[in-house]
Amino acid sequence: MIHRFLPLLVTSAVLVVGFLLCAAQFPNFASLRVVGNLLTDNAFLGITAVGMTFVILSGGIDLSVGAVIGFTTVLLAVLIEQGGWHPFSAFAVALAVAGGFGAAMGAVIHVFQMPPFIVTLAGMFVARGLGFVLSTDSIPINHPLYAELGDLALRFDGGGKLTLPALLMLGVVAAAVVCAHWTRFGANLYALGGNRQSAELMGVPVGRTTVAVYALSGLLAGLAGIVFSLYTGAGYSLAATGVELDTITAVVIGGTQLTGGYGYVIGTFIGVLIQGLIQTYITFDGSLSSWWTKIAIGVLLFVFILLQKGLLAVWTGRGGAPAEA
């Protein structure tokens, strides 16, 4: 039993050890304020990464999430500032649009049997393009509700607080864990990612599951877009570029196999926190240049992939992993 959770345990250990090392060097690091900020700053990334984990578990990939976040922020800004909509109705529309967009991509992937990589790449172009068409400027959102929502937080002693974005992320992660392990949809997802043909023969509704998983990823990207617009107080079509790669990185660090069928949502959450920790450390240090973040994450990615490969080779007997298709 232990070996199933080994990648997850290693990832968690890296987070804990990393945090302790940071705390040893900077005594202020181990405070609720830093932890609270870590959660708030990475909330949109965490929410997106949950959707990405589902897609990857099903054996696919979604490159459009960053663009969907950017599009959602612009859509919100345009609806609220220029259209005079109430933020809550704008949120509802944005979520519906983002979810529908994901569902459409899932349908194309399933019906035309096209590689998810290229379909979601086209989706990325479409979403960024639509954002540009709406507006190429960064539009500030000045609705009073935004200020109220921004102030909303669970406060703790010592300046620590869990803001609305952080709470949303924790809620999404918790719901996703339940969904992945204790629902029929979750079981279908793992089956589909493990082996599509066997899943089909077992009676898994492949088409419905594929559409649903991309719709979910789109929906969560839309939610991340709402969080991002709350966090920055603006809508900008170039917002969140490269987030798709950050989320894929988090998923891989979290121990999920990119071939699908194996992995845990909670691992992805830890992966997001590890990336955030590296960034926070570099901010604390002050003398390290920002590019060390990228190099450190690259090295981490490499180490984790090697670890996974090593573990897989041990499980499946000697001679390394079978050829991955």
Q: Residue numbers of the site for other proteins (CB under 8 A)?
A: 61, 108, 111-115, 117-119, 121-126, 128-130, 132-133, 136, 245, 248-249, 252, 258-259, 289-295, 297-299, 301-302, 305-306, 309, 320-321, 323-324
CB closer to other proteins out of 175 and 306: 306
CB closer to other proteins out of 29 and 71: 71
Taking the complex as a whole, the smallest distance from the CB of residue 161 to other proteins amounts, in Å, to: 31
Q: How far apart are CA 228 and CA 232, in angstroms?
A: 6
Instruction: Give the contacts of 79 (CB within 8 A, at least 6 positions apart).
Output: 85, 89, 90, 93, 94
Q: How far apart, in Å, do the first and last CA atoms of the chain sit?
A: 27
Taking the complex as a whole, the smallest distance from the CB of residue 279 to other proteins amounts, in Å, to: 13
Give me the amino acid identity at 266.
I
Taking the complex as a whole, the smallest distance from the CB of residue 59 to other proteins amounts, in Å, to: 12
Please provide the DSSP assignment of 123-164 as one string.
HHHHHHHHHHHH-SSPEE---HHHHHHHH-EEE-GGG-EEEH
Q: How far apart are CA 73 and CA 237, in angstroms?
A: 7
CB closer to other proteins out of 125 and 315: 125
Percent helix, percent strand, percent coil in the chain, to nearest 5: 75, 5, 20
CB closer to other proteins out of 83 and 298: 298
CB closer to other proteins out of 170 and 238: 238
| Residue carrying structure tokens 């649009």 | 97
Taking the complex as a whole, the smallest distance from the CB of residue 14 to other proteins amounts, in Å, to: 17
Taking the complex as a whole, the smallest distance from the CB of residue 246 to other proteins amounts, in Å, to: 8
